[in-house]
């Protein structure tokens, strides 16, 4: 199953401006995918025997999920585009993904959900930074 | 790009119960994908010349996006599973997708974003109903 | 500080239909307030010494927050009103608030955040049921 | 009706750090209140006769609602506090509130919902900036 982000971008009826469509589509998809992965990772952590040792990871997952979703929403809109706001959200999202990726990576060796989630956070962070760079 | 929903489900450290994993994974992915498509469709409608004729479609898109996201979040959690709540959200989500799919389908002939979004809403509605059925 | 829900309702430029404005305003406010309280309660539980005994409470808080927010969003929209969808979300929200209120109430005796959150969940559940009744 | 943010802050079982509790509570409440107001304003704009002239306002409302909610969520959590992330979200939120407040203010003279929403956006922006200042 893949998201239909590209079809939605291609059917936008007005000008998308000079934005890099491929980088935009990837970043949108990573935002929703990372929101899902972080929500699932927080929940998986809650079912680990050592949940007490994972509370910072859970909190980081929850923040990252909320921020990734909000960023995906903002990036999915093109009408009345505001470069300042887009950049500010991408910066916040990259910051959240970096923090969550780092903390999940610490547990990646013995918890597969943290390993998967760390990888997803890295991908989403990279997609955000790529898009920031492409905004010029 | 695909979501890592299946990897996250497979690495959940406790028992998922008797739930159909394939149907669950599909429903989760459709929820996030439909949230993205509906957000993009609302925005595309805002850039159409005849936006005044699309206000009900936009409103339906906005509701569907909020509900699909909340449903995807609930379905991504397995700790302390509550069948009543899962069912209630799946019912609300199927209702939202049906309504939004119907209204987008009315415009599908002349607006590609509504055509894509209607198809995505149908898929998400079907995935919700499949999962309701599988809950027994 | 109070929310400006009533001012927003009073300045809606079209007909709100026969809905009970007072019950609607209260339910909207309880939805956002309960989303905040549940998010804070989940986080407070994460900082308790006995977090392992609170994982079901945390999960219930997270679901309730997501559903209350989505419900508040749907109730804040009046254009193209859909009674079926409103009812389905109110039912899901009342179900989430009942479940979360029950589990928080079990801990209310020794954790003030669960006591406050249980009370807020009860209020939000009651506001949802009042509004369902008023929808006829 | 008032939110129970203060009660939730006061019952947090661990140390909140040196943060200004009053400014934090106000900012949290403004975030949820602004999310509600912006969602309602977007919908009110959809029911105006001149919706075609309001599409940028609607888009700005939708972004501001998503970002205010995510910011309120992040601020409601204190476990594993991350000053960098808090600051990045507060900056994004202040940026969104400034943009939305400016565009709503342009219509404040003839649409009461935009007047109310502009005032709410100004209050939320101010609360975010106050809190950024208090973070040191």
- Domain assignment of residue C18, yes or no: no
Q: Give yes or no for residue B85 having a pLDDT over 80.
A: yes
Do residue A55 and residue D79 have CB atoms under 8 angstroms apart?
yes
Give me the CATH number covering residue D96: 1.20.1270.360
Q: How close is the nearest chain A Cα to the Cα of B87, in Å? A: 19
- Domain assignment of residue D13, yes or no: no
Read off the pLDDT band of D61 (50, 70, 90).
very high
Least-confidence region, from C13-17, D30-34, D40-44, D67-71: C13-17
Query: For B44-60, how does the pLDDT look when each residue is reduced to its tens digit (9 = 90+)?
Result: 999 999 999 999 999 99
- Domain assignment of residue B34, yes or no: yes
Report the domain count for chain C.
1
Q: How close is the nearest chain C Cα to the Cα of D65, in Å? A: 9
- Domain assignment of residue C63, yes or no: yes
The whole domain housing A37 covers 23-135
Average pLDDT in chain C: 96
- Compare CB distances from A51 to C42, C43, C51 and report the shortest one's residue: C51
pLDDT (average), residues D28-56 = 98
> What pLDDT shows up at residue D18?
85
pLDDT (average), residues B78-99 = 97
pLDDT (average), residues D25-43 = 98
User: What CA–CA distance (Å, rounded) separates B54 from B12?
Assistant: 42
Q: Give yes or no for residue C106 having a pLDDT over 80.
A: yes
Query: For A16-29, how does the pLDDT look when each residue is reduced to its tens digit (9 = 90+)?
Result: 988 999 999 999 99
- Compare CB distances from A84 to D70, D80, D95 and report the shortest one's residue: D95
Q: What angle do CA B3, B7, B12 make, to 5 degrees?
A: 125
Read off the pLDDT band of D112 (50, 70, 90).
very high
- Domain assignment of residue A60, yes or no: yes
> How far is it between the farthest Cα atoms of chain D?
52
Which 8-state DSSP code applies to residue A13? S
User: What CA–CA distance (Å, rounded) separates A80 from B43?
Assistant: 10
Do residue C63 and residue B82 have CB atoms under 8 angstroms apart?
yes
Q: Give yes or no for residue B17 having a pLDDT over 70.
A: yes
- Domain assignment of residue A52, yes or no: yes
Query: For C19-57, how does the pLDDT look when each residue is reduced to its tens digit (9 = 90+)?
Result: 999 999 999 999 999 999 999 999 999 999 999 999 999
How much of chain B exceeds pLDDT 90, in percent?
Answer: 96
Read off the pLDDT band of A71 (50, 70, 90).
very high
User: What CA–CA distance (Å, rounded) separates C43 from D74?
Assistant: 10
How much of chain B exceeds pLDDT 70, in percent?
Answer: 99
- Compare CB distances from C52 to A42, A51, A62 and report the shortest one's residue: A51
Read off the pLDDT band of B18 (50, 70, 90).
confident
Do residue C59 and residue B77 have CB atoms under 8 angstroms apart?
yes
> What pLDDT shows up at residue D17?
87
Average pLDDT in chain B: 97
Residue of D nearest to B56 (CA): D46
Q: How close is the nearest chain C Cα to the Cα of A21, in Å? A: 30
Residues of D with CB under 8 A from a CB of B: 42-43, 46-47, 51-52, 55, 58-59, 62
> What pLDDT shows up at residue D2?
76
- Domain assignment of residue A73, yes or no: yes
Residues of B with CB under 8 A from a CB of D: 42-43, 46-47, 51-52, 55, 58-59, 62
How much of chain A exceeds pLDDT 90, in percent?
Answer: 96
Q: Which long-range contacts (CB under 8 A, 24 or more apart) does A88-91 make?
A: A88/D88, A88/D91, A88/D92, A88/D95, A88/D96, A89/D67, A89/D92, A90/A27, A90/A128, A90/A129, A90/A131, A90/A132, A90/A135, A91/A128, A91/A132, A91/D88, A91/D91, A91/D92
- Compare CB distances from B74 to C66, C80, C82 and report the shortest one's residue: C66
Q: What is the ipTM of this complex?
A: 0.97
pLDDT (average), residues D23-47 = 98
Residue scoring higher pLDDT (D136 or D40): D40
- Domain assignment of residue B70, yes or no: yes
Query: For C62-90, how does the pLDDT look when each residue is reduced to its tens digit (9 = 90+)?
Result: 999 999 999 999 999 999 999 999 999 99
Do residue D3 and residue C35 have CB atoms under 8 angstroms apart?
no
């Amino acid at each position: 199953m893949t998201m239909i982000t590209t079809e939605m971008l291609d059917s936008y009826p007005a000008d998308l401006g000079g934005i890099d469509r491929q980088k935009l589509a990837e970043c949108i998809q990573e935002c929703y995918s990372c929101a899902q992965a972080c929500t699932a990772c927080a929940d998986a952590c809650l079912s680990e025997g050592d949940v007490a040792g994972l509370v910072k990871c859970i909190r980081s997952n929850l923040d990252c999920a909320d921020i990734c979703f909000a960023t995906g929403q903002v990036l999915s809109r093109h009408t009345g585009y505001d470069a300042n706001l887009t950049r500010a959200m991408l910066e916040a999202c990259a910051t959240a993904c970096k923090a969550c990726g780092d903390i999940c990576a610490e547990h990646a060796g013995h918890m597969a959900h943290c390993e998967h989630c760390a990888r997803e956070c890295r991908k989403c962070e990279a997609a955000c930074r790529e898009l920031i760079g492409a905004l010029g």
